[in-house]
Chains A and B, each alone.
Chain A
Amino acid sequence: MGESAITRKSWSDRIFDFFVYFVILFVVVITIYPFLNVLAISLNDSVDSVRGGVTIYPRQFTWDNYLKIFTFSGLITGFKISALRTVVGTLFGLISASMLAFTISRPDFAGRKFVSTFLAMTMYISGGMIPIYMLIKDLHMMNSFAVYVLPGLVSAFNVFVIRSFIDGLPYALQESAKLDGANDFTIYFRVILPLMKPALATIALFLAVGQWNAWLDTYLYNGSSPNLTTLQFELMKVLQTTTSGNGGDYRSNIASLASNQVSPESLKMAITIVVTVPILLVYPFIQKYFVKGMTLGAVKS
């Protein structure tokens, strides 16, 4: 009897349940519909798409839009540069953040307080867009690949997330490695790095998403170097062409693409898919780690 009193649902609880499922379902539909719609249009015959009414599945299936956009040279270069900056940026970001986190986690390190304070300050102070732009210019980093990796190399936030993870590891591991004759560099590589996989996976995801999705640095520093532009930047130019009417050279580019009965709308959707899918492929692999990593970072900082 006591149990039934607990499990029995009152009317108010049933209404509450209905409301909960209704709202969550609504959120799911609103979130996922645009993606399915874009995918359907990108796979639909472009002339047919203009008639409208394509929802979540292609009405007249075709790969034509994708074949068309890959003849567009900016896209291939963009893909290469985006992939390269994602790999290089993530790798260097991981090394720098984990090394720094390792050093400031060491209670015996004499520079611990200085290094961590120096880093923490960077989270609150920023020179702003124009002083940074002038610095990049003075360092002769305009129109270079380095501008994608160097200025954002160290993120204090990432360092502190990894550091709190290292703090959770038993320090005795490092001490015993030291007794075996390992130096600090070896301890970092052999002891700490292998144990940090969950934290590294989380940070790698943040870094990779940030790198893949960035377009502003291309716009500010590398916009005039066609062999250094990224995929996001190319998509940005294509999308801005028809929405706001600026970027005249791209208008003609799209117009030439759009000849032969291909509507720019379908092409835009195909490019959007090409830009989106690679990063969405990464996250299921790392998903199991990042909720934990995110929470850790949020609590500690």
Chain B
Amino acid sequence: MKADTVTSQIPPDTRTRNKKPASGGRFWRSFKNQKYLWMMSIPFVIWAFIFSYLPLWGWTMAFQKYKPARGFFEQEWVGFEHFKTLFSDSQFLLALRNTLAMSGMGLVAGLIFPITFAILLNEVRLGFFKRFAQTVSYLPHFVSWVVAAGIVTKMLSGENGIVNDILLGIGFIDAPIQFMAQGHLFWGIVTLSDIWKETGWNAIIYLAAIAGIGPELYEAARVDGASRLRQVWHITLPGIRPTITVLLIMSIGNLLNIGFEKQFLLGNNLVTDYSQVLDLYSLKYGLGMARYSYGTAINIFNSVISVILLFTINGIFKRTTKESLL
């Protein structure tokens, strides 16, 4: 073996200095040399196996009539039965519609608002105002959705809510609107809450990308007499295009993974037809009613669609532009 030849080439006096003679192969020796590195990583590899990989084993539940009391080999296998039930359930289709609607709206808003905000903030010339505005803008990111949902409900409230107060004040409406009780407003409320909470924070990445654009480009444009608006259009926007593309691909891949925090916290019994999303549906019908197999089938549907979306979008972008994520 190569390792042995190396050892034999070492003069005898140096070899005796090694307390333990080489035992086993090269791997074992390097393992010993790097035992601290292994000790620092192995526990977390085991951790990742348990908490990230082991749940995948739970996917088998979706193809069984899972009963918690039984062992794995005693479960009754039912094939795709749960998936068939899923696709014929109108509640599921409603949840799918709501998920796609809210994530689609969130995707568009999550792209337009942070980019616009970053570009505008970049045009602010007063240093202290710029810093102040930026600091204020990411304040809401740090509060939980519980707090944010409470604030949104308060602001939109029919009693002393600021939005209704303003609308009444300017004579736009005669009676307060019960925003939180109207299903058709729910998607918009979720999207606007998201914009309020995350625009400033998400703008950080675009601000960093803008900062990376060479100042000589703006200098040249100024000499050519380009207006500020034209500079934004011809320099800033193209400059941050790679960043936009990567973030767009990432968010499309997560289209179905919008979770249910916002919908759970902002929703109520009056608006379920619009607030029910896939994860909430799996929580309610899977966990709530102890139909674990059925709930798992929903989770699988979610993951599979997400992966397909991610690869499709990535492929499209790879072909049309040079930027891609994977």
Contact = CB atoms under 8 A, between A and B. Distances in A.
Interface of A: 6, 10, 12-13, 16-17, 20-21, 23-25, 27-28, 30-35, 37-38, 52-54, 96, 99-100, 102-104, 106, 108-111, 115, 118-119, 121-122, 124-135, 139, 150-151, 153-154, 183-185, 188, 209, 212-216, 220, 232, 235-236, 239-240, 243-246, 268-269, 272, 275-276, 279-280, 283, 287, 291, 294-295, 298
Contact of B52 (A33, A99, A126, A139): A126
Given A32-B136, A118-B45, A239-B146, A128 B40 contact: no
Nearest to A24: B133
Interface of B: 27, 30-31, 34, 36-41, 44-45, 47-59, 61, 68, 117, 120-121, 123-125, 129, 132-133, 135-137, 139-140, 142-147, 149-151, 153-155, 159-160, 162, 165, 180, 196, 199-200, 204-205, 207-208, 222-223, 227-229, 243, 247, 261, 265, 267-269, 279, 282-283, 286-287, 292, 295-296, 298-300, 302-303, 307, 310
B287 A133 contact: yes
A269 to B, nearest CB: 8
B51 A151 contact: yes
Contacts of B145: 213
The listed residue with most B CB atoms (<10 A of its CB), out of A33, A108, A246, A272, is A272
Contacts of B150: 235, 239, 268, 272
Given A131-B299, A213-B144, A244-B268, 14 more contacts: A21-B124, A24-B121, A28-B136, A52-B159, A100-B41, A119-B44, A121-B52, A128-B302, A130-B286, A236-B146, A239-B149, A239-B153, A245-B269, A295-B205
B40 A185 contact: yes
Given A24-B133, A291-B204, A110 B30 contact: yes
5 contacts: A127-B56, A128-B302, A128-B303, A129-B295, A272-B150
Contacts of B151: 34-35, 38, 272
A184 B37 CA distance: 7
B139 A103 contact: no
Nearest to A38: B151
Contact of A104 (B41, B48, B229, B267): B41
A130 B54 contact: no
Contacts of B296: 128, 130-131
Given A6-B223, A53-B160, A129 B282 contact: yes
Contact of A153 (B47, B125, B160): B47
A276 B31 CA distance: 48
B180 A243 contact: yes
B51 A275 contact: no
Nearest to A299: B208
Given A118-B48, A154-B44, A294-B205, A213 B200 contact: no
B146 A134 contact: no
Nearest to B160: A52
Q: Is the interface of B mostly helix, strand, loop or mixed?
A: helix
Contact of B48 (A108, A154, A244): A154
Contact of B41 (A99, A126, A153, A239): A99
Contact of A185 (B36, B160, B200): B36
Nearest to B123: A20
Contacts of A269: 154
The listed residue with most A CB atoms (<10 A of its CB), out of B27, B155, B160, B279, is B160
A236 B265 CA distance: 8
The listed residue with most B CB atoms (<10 A of its CB), out of A31, A115, A130, A239, is A130
A38 B151 CA distance: 8
Contacts of B149: 239
A74 to B, nearest CB: 14
A183 B35 CA distance: 10
B139 A31 contact: yes
Given A100-B40, A128-B55, A235 B147 contact: yes
Contact of A127 (B59, B200, B228, B267): B59
B286 to A, nearest CB: 5
Given A10-B227, A127-B55, A245-B269, A122 B136 contact: no
